[in-house]
Amino acid sequence: GENVEQHPSTLSVQEGDSAVIKCTYSDSASNYFPWYKQELGKRPQLIIDIRSNVGEKKDQRIAVTLNKTAKHFSLHITETQPEDSAVYFCAANGNNRLAFGKGNQVVVIP
Part in contact with another protein (CB under 8 A); list of ranges 12-20, 46-54, 61-69, 72-80: 46-54
For strands 4-7 and 10-14, give the pairing: unpaired
**Which residues contact residue 18 at a Cβ distance below 8 angstroms, ignoring those fewer than 6 apart?**
76, 77, 78, 79, 80
Report the first-to-last Cα separation within the chain, whole angstroms: 40
25 contacts another protein (rule: CB under 8 A)? no
- Out of 46, 67, 81, 109, name the contact with another protein by CB under 8 A: 46
DSSP string, 11-45: EEEETTS-EEEEEEE--TT--EEEEEEE-TTS--E
Q: In angstroms, what is the C-alpha Rg of the chain? A: 13
32 contacts another protein (rule: CB under 8 A)? yes
- Out of 34, 37, 73, 108, name the contact with another protein by CB under 8 A: 34
35 contacts another protein (rule: CB under 8 A)? no
- Out of 3, 12, 28, 45, name the contact with another protein by CB under 8 A: 45
- Out of 24, 80, 85, 93, name the contact with another protein by CB under 8 A: 93
CA 29 to chain centroid, in Å, comes to: 19
- Interface pattern 48-77 for another protein (x via CB under 8 A): -x-x--------------------------
